[in-house]
Amino acid sequence: MDYQLLNQLALACHQGPVDEENRLWQTFLETSKDAFNAQYVTLLLRPPSDGDKGVVLNVFAPYLDTYHSYRGHYYSQDPLVDLPPGKALCLDEVVNMDEFRQTDYYQNFLYQVETEYILGVDFEDVSGFRGSLRLTRSRDDSNFNGDDKALLEAVIPHLVLSIEHYSRRVNLETHLAAYQAAFDQMALGCLVVKPDMQVQSKNQAASLFLNERRGLAIQPDGRLQVGTRAEHKAFSALIASMLGSLESYEAADESLEAAEIYEQNSVNAFRIQTIDSLVGVGLLCRVLPPSSTPDASPSVVIFISDPVRPKLSTTRLLEQLFGLTHSEARLCLLLANGATLDEAAQTLEVTRNTAKTHLSAAFAKTGVARQPALVQLILRSVASIG
């Protein structure tokens, strides 16, 4: 076996998830094409089916429409299906070639694109996910041999591991996006900053708050400015104290006493005075210990609770949860966002008596008897993160 070639293929496998989003594993596919002297190399991560084009990655040479024909029609006729995981097989090991050459798949697909030889391997990860890799050669080339099969089988574990890492990353990003969307719906801003106050990331609610420049701002050098000069100094001292507790905890080999101090100081609150709110804006700060990555360092996540910004943005969930009419849900939404009954009636362009009727109906449907209890019920319900 050519171990230098195997090393090139393995490196290309692990580069797959960090390729540009629209070129996932293209470096690996291109390297495989050259390594195996292949006409086509196709990686199937999700097979095509009715209504789903699947995830089919390919190196196009020389026919681009081959990809679309296979994906849209001929995949269902592919004879190399359900192979033993990890075992590379040639087409002539699976079918009788004389009979196969008479099929529609061969005559109207493979023959048209000058494909004669196919080498395939299926793979499966620990979660049960199955994928496949197919390499082809034209009629003018020779068939794949035992060395080709051995090399392909040796690189498959690297490909499986690379796909597992990519799936974990995508799942994590999906979960984080869901959490971030929930924070946005609750008008809960979220910032992540380094110890020097450099802003690493922020969600949409935090961006809106920063754009309004109501006590928080990002300086030209990327550092977070909190409130007035005095407030910023006090906030910086608070963060330094929190990080100091983390350092003491780590220096003491995570002793029980240091752990208790760290637990007491890892979460703290801070309030910024603003001109548009008597209660100001609350900041909840939590130290995030460094991860095990090479460039790891502690960071601080800052949650922004803004009493001015409305917390709810949809009536649909209120209607579904409590059986409210659209008008009743709109009234409850306004009340939950801080409006008085008179202000809500004005916004809805109804009389105060009509608003009171809607409110009475909402009381009956939610099982509460007072307006503060109704507001509290809505804010604690899943509608507040819908």
**CATH number of the domain to which 15 belongs:** 3.30.450.40
Give the per-residue pLDDT at 61. 46
Asked whether residue 310 is assigned to any structural domain, the reply reads: no
Does position 62 have pLDDT exceeding 50, yes or no? Answer: no
**Listed residues 172, 194, 225: the one ending a domain:** 172
Higher-confidence residue of 357 and 338: namely 357
Highest mean pLDDT among 95-99, 311-315, 319-323: 95-99
DSSP-derived letter for residue 106 is: I
Say how many CA atoms lie within 13 Å of 169 toward its Cβ.
10
Question: Is residue 245 a part of any domain in this protein?
Answer: yes
Q: Tell me: do 244 and 290 sit in the same domain.
A: yes
Are residues 352 and 378 both part of a single domain?
yes
Residue 90 domain flag: yes
Separation of alpha carbons 284 and 159, rounded Å: 43
Residue of 68, 163, 169 whose CA lies nearest to 122: 163
Same domain, 165 and 226: no
Residues 6+ apart with CB under 8 A from 324: 315, 318, 332, 361, 362, 365
At 307, the pLDDT band (50, 70, 90 cuts) reads low
Query: Number of helices and strands (H, E) in the chain?
Result: 14, 12
Q: Is residue 261 part of a domain?
A: yes
Do 212 and 167 lie in a common domain?
Answer: no
Residue 359 pLDDT class (50, 70, 90 cuts): very high
Q: In whole numbers, what is the pLDDT of the chain averaged over residues?
A: 82
**Co-location of 139 and 267 in the same domain:** no
Q: What is the mean pLDDT of residues 15-42?
A: 86
* Residue-wise DSSP of 246-271: HHHHHHTTT-HHHHHHHHHHSEEEEE
Q: What is the mean pLDDT of residues 176-194?
A: 74
Q: Are residues 25 and 129 in the same domain?
A: yes
Give the CATH number of the domain where residue 297 resides: 3.30.450
216-266 pLDDT, tens digit per residue, is: 899 999 999 998 899 999 999 999 888 887 777 666 665 666 566 666 667
CA distance 182 to 189: 10
φ, ψ (nearest 5 deg) of residue 274: -125, 155
pLDDT in tens, 80-105: 788 899 999 999 999 999 999 998 88
Which region, left, alpha or beta, applies to residue 363 given φ > 0 means left and ψ of -120 to 50 means alpha?
Answer: alpha
Q: For residue 57, what are its two tokens?
A: 């990655």
Same domain, 166 and 299: no
Q: Give the C-alpha separation, 345 to 331, whole Å.
A: 8
Q: Is residue 311 part of a domain?
A: no
The confidence score (pLDDT) of residue 172 equals 81
Are 221 and 287 in the same domain?
yes
191 and 166 assigned to the same domain: no
Alpha-carbon span 361 to 367, nearest angstrom:
10
Residue 277 shares a structural domain with residue 328: no
Residue 177 resides in a domain: no
What is the pLDDT at residue 265?
A: 67
Domain count, the chain: 3
Q: Last residue of a domain, which of 266, 286, 305?
A: 305
> Tell me, what's the pLDDT at 34?
94
How many other CB atoms sit within 10 Å of the CB of residue 268?
A: 17
Q: Which of 142, 172, 202 is the last residue of a domain?
A: 172
- Give the pLDDT score at 250: 65
Please indicate whether residue 377 or residue 235 has the higher confidence score (pLDDT).
Answer: 235
Q: What CATH number does the domain containing 362 carry? A: 1.10.10.10
Q: Look at residue 179 and tell me whether its pLDDT is greater than 80.
A: no
| Range with top average pLDDT, 9-23, 49-63, 307-321, 362-376 | 362-376
The pLDDT value recorded for residue 63 is 47
User: Which residue, among 282, 281, 307, 315, has the nearest Cα to 384 in the 3D structure?
Assistant: 315
Where is average pLDDT lowest: 67-76, 246-255, 303-312, 313-322? 67-76
Q: What is the mean pLDDT of residues 280-299?
A: 75
- Whether residues 287 and 351 share a domain: the answer is no
C-alpha to C-alpha distance for 265 and 283, rounded to whole angstroms = 15
56, pLDDT greater than 70: yes
Mean pLDDT value of segment 357-386: 82
Task: Write out the residue range of the structural domain in which residue 125 sits.
Answer: 3-172
pLDDT at 289 over 80: no
Calculate the alpha carbon distances from 306 to 211, 214, 279, 282 in Å. Answer: 14, 10, 10, 7
pLDDT at 206: 87
Task: Tell me: do 123 and 254 sit in the same domain.
Answer: no
CA dihedral sign, ordered 41, 46, 48, 51 = negative
Q: Is residue 30 part of a domain?
A: yes
> For 113-136, how does the pLDDT look when each residue is reduced to its tens digit (9 = 90+)?
889 999 999 998 888 888 999 999
Least-confidence region, from 70-79, 159-168, 177-186, 247-256: 70-79
Ranges of beta strands (E only) in the chain are 40-46, 55-59, 89-90, 115-124, 130-138, 188-193, 199-202, 216-218, 224-226, 267-274, 277-288, 299-305
In which residue are the tokens 């390594």 written? 35
pLDDT in tens, 129-167: 889 999 999 989 999 999 999 999 999 999 999 999 888
- Please check whether residue 275 lies inside any domain of the structure: yes
